[in-house]
């Protein structure tokens, strides 16, 4: 079959397929360039254009020197797109204040503050509203003053009175107007966003704002922005200035919302170290993460090795037993975890029905930690069983026989021959498994959700590991999404895992002398 496919895509067919794929690729590049140009991302646009041109040249020009590049480019694109760019983006976010209330750029924040700094003046007017479109299809507001009953049309340019003879008013609202088409039904329901941003300016700096689709009010700003001084001043004379941290704030620290994204150096890292609200839960979660990862690897490896040694020799039903032990590894992990969550349920779980007592497996802090390790070992030991089973086959039988002839017992043979030789091939896998379990988000979040909660006023629960704690900070923190803090912790996780893995790999070099 592969030979037939290679023959089919050779010659003319291959050339046609190549140009079709390049055509699709360049169409995608044109679309991306249009989007980048629309958003004024000129540097990214230049990079995309140069990269696309280089790819076209490599695949079109028939040179032998370019053949390696043809095979490297697809993998490089995926590497950059799914690994390099996310890493760079995470590092970039970690050095900003990017979080709830600080996701805009400064100009957008100023605009939003101006929109929010509105209040109804004393004796401010109210209007009955009828949305409509003019002859050119633009949205306008047909208004009736609730006090004077004077009809008018409101546009972004201002308020214009309408003659009573040009409108029909029923129930205080305009139901028909010459030159305008009133909106109703589905057309009216789709106007929420457009009406929310619609403003009809009035003399004195106030404006008419729709409050729904049938009511509008006159609002005026209670804070004014001075572009030259870059400050907001309230009607009470309170001045809000750029505090350099992404907010307009008073000298006493009271800030206006929203703020904007700005770079603040190592502030997020410093906060993790110096702020007790972050330092205490971080250290607690770090300690539990190390315990969880090491416990899972040690117990899973021990169980897998024990079963591998037990099932190494042939006996009736050996293959059946081996197959049964692989089931936890074959079933999707998320499904297994959800099943375990049901089995460990305090009220309805079968575990409590079988065992004496009524243990709260998932909501007692210590039992929840035990449950997380138990389920993780259950999911991991088949992997080590397979690894150890294969590694045991590579240990020379002559060494074992020689040791037994010299009078070594079973434990001595295992400790001085089997285990050291086994670790030569399994040590890198143990280190990789430790790194994997250090960031084993699924096992924790699907089983306990990181809970139960603790008493340190943190979003980190008793079973949260660093990666689930990071997730909560980024997406489910009670004080809003703290993306920059989560990004900083992600970098710390990488450094911790990299450092520990590096030390362990360096230490395992001693095993090479056993070869």
Instruction: Detail the DSSP E strand segments found in 265-384.
Output: none
* pLDDT value for 423: 87
Q: Please say if the pLDDT value at position 239 is more than 60.
A: yes
Q: Are 260 and 244 in contact (CB under 8 A)?
A: no
Given a cut of 90, whether residue 238 has pLDDT beyond it is yes
pLDDT in tens, 193-215: 788 888 899 887 788 999 888 99
Element (H, E) at 291: helix 276-310
Nearest to 282 by CA among 499, 502, 490: 490
381, 324 Cβ separation under 8 angstroms: no
The Cα–Cα gap between 443 and 433 comes to 14
- Is it the case that residue 283 has pLDDT exceeding 60? yes
Residue 416 has pLDDT above 70, yes or no: yes
pLDDT at site 228: 92
Q: What is the mean pLDDT of residues 337-351?
A: 92
DSSP type of residue 482: -
CATH architecture of 118-221: Beta Barrel (2.40)
Instruction: Give tens-digit pLDDT for 19-31.
Output: 888 899 999 999 9
Peptide bond into 258 cis (omega under 30): yes
Least confident span in 83-87, 218-222, 491-495: 218-222
pLDDT (0 to 100) of residue 456: 75
Identify whether the C-beta of residue 464 lies closer than 8 Å to the C-beta of residue 450: yes
d(CA 196, CA 214): 12
First to last CA, the chain: 43
Residue ranges of domains in the chain: 2-94, 118-221, 273-514
The reported pLDDT for the residue numbered 369 is: 96
- pTM of this structure: 0.79
Strand 223-226 vs strand 215-221: parallel, antiparallel, or unpaired? unpaired
Q: Is residue 281 within 8 Å of 456, Cβ to Cβ?
A: yes
In this structure, the number of other CB atoms found within 10 A of the CB of residue 122 comes to: 5
Q: Which residue has the higher pLDDT, 142 or 184?
A: 142
Predicted confidence (pLDDT) at residue 43 exceeds the cutoff of 70: yes
Whole-angstrom distance, CA of residue 80 vs CA of residue 86 = 9
CA 169, 170, 174: angle at the middle one, nearest 5? 40
Sheet-wide strand order for 223-226: 223-226, 231-234, 239-242, 248-249
For the domain bounded by 273-514, which CATH number is listed?
Answer: 1.10.3720.10
Provide mean pLDDT across the span 357-368.
Answer: 92
Is the per-residue pLDDT at 15 higher than 60? Answer: yes
Residues 6+ apart with CB under 8 A from 451: 362, 363, 368, 461, 462, 463
Whether 118-221 and 273-514 share one fold: the answer is no
> Both tokens of residue 283?
């250290």
Does 115 sit behind a cis peptide bond, omega within 30 degrees of 0 on the bond before it?
no
pLDDT digits (tens, 9 = 90+) for 376-413: 999 999 999 999 998 888 888 777 788 787 777 878 88
- Residue 290 backbone phi and psi in degrees, to 5: -65, -45
Rounded CA gap, 232 and 211, in Å? 25
In this model, does residue 1 exceed pLDDT 60? no
Chain mean position to CA 458: 20
What is the DSSP annotation of 377-398? HHHHHHHHHHHHHHHHHTS-HH
Average confidence (pLDDT) over 35-60: 91
Residue 264 C-beta-side C-alpha neighbours within 13 Å: 23
- What integer pLDDT is reported at residue 319 of this predicted model? 82
CA distance 77 to 29: 13
- Exposed/middle/buried for residue 186 (C-beta within 10 Å: 0-12, 13-18, 19+): exposed
Kind and range of the H or E run holding 249:
strand 248-249
CATH of domain 2-94: 1.20.58
Indicate if the pLDDT at residue 12 is higher than 80: no
What are the backbone angles phi and psi of residue 99, rounded to the nearest 5°? Answer: -170, 180
């Amino acid at each position: 079959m592969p030979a037939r496919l290679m023959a089919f895509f050779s010659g003319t067919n291959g050339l046609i397929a190549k140009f079709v794929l390049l055509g699709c690729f360049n169409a995608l590049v044109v679309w991306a360039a249009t989007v980048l140009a629309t958003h004024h991302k000129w540097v990214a646009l230049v990079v995309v254009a140069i990269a696309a041109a280089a790819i076209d040249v490599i695949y079109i020009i028939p040179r032998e020197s370019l053949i390696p590049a043809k095979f490297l480019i697809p993998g490089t694109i995926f590497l950059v797109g799914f690994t390099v760019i996310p890493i760079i983006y995470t590092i970039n976010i970690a050095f900003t204040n990017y979080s709830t209330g600080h996701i805009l750029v400064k100009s957008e924040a100023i605009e939003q503050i101006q929109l929010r700094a509105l209040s109804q003046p004393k004796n401010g007017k109210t209007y009955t509203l009828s949305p409509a479109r003019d002859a050119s299809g633009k949205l306008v507001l047909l208004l009736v003053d609730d006090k004077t009953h004077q009809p008018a049309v409101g546009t972004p340019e201002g308020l214009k009175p309408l003659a009573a003879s040009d409108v029909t008013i029923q129930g205080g609202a305009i139901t028909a107007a010459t030159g305008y088409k009133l909106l109703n039904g589905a057309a009216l329901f789709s106007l929420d966003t457009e009406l929310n941003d619609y403003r009809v300016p009035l003399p004195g700096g106030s404006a008419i704002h729709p409050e729904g689709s049938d009511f509008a009010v006159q609002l005026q700003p209670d804070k004014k922005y001075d572009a030259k001084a870059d400050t907001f001043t309230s009607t009470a004379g309170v001045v809000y200035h750029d505090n350099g941290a992404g907010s307009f704030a008073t000298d006493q620290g009271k800030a206006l919302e929203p703020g904007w994204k700005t770079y603040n150096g190592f502030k997020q890292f410093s906060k993790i170290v110096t702020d007790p609200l972050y330092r205490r839960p971080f250290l607690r979660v770090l300690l539990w993460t190390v315990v969880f990862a090491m416990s899972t690897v040690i117990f899973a490896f021990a169980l897998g090795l024990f079963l591998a040694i037990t099932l190494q020799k042939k006996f009736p039903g050996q293959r059946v037993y081996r197959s049964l032990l692989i089931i936890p590894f074959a079933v999707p992990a998320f499904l297994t975890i959800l099943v375990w969550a049901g089995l460990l349920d305090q009220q309805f779980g079968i575990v409590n029905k079988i065992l004496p007592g009524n243990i709260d497996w998932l909501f007692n802090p210590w039992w929840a930690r035990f449950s997380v390790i138990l389920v993780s070992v259950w999911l991991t030991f088949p992997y080590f069983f397979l690894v150890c089973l294969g590694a045991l086959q590579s240990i020379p039988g002559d060494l074992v026989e020689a040791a037994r002839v010299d009078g070594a017992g079973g434990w001595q043979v295992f400790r001085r021959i089997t285990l050291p030789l086994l670790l030569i091939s399994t040590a890198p896998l143990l280190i990789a498994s430790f790194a994997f379990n250090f960031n084993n988000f699924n096992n924790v979040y699907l089983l306990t959700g990181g809970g139960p909660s603790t008493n340190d006023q943190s979003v980190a629960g008793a079973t949260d590991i660093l990666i689930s704690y990071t997730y909560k900070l980024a997406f489910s923190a009670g004080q809003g999404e703290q993306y920059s803090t989560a990004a900083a912790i992600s970098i710390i996780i990488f450094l911790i895992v990299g450092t520990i893995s590096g030390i362990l790999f360096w230490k395992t070099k001693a095993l090479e002398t056993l070869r």
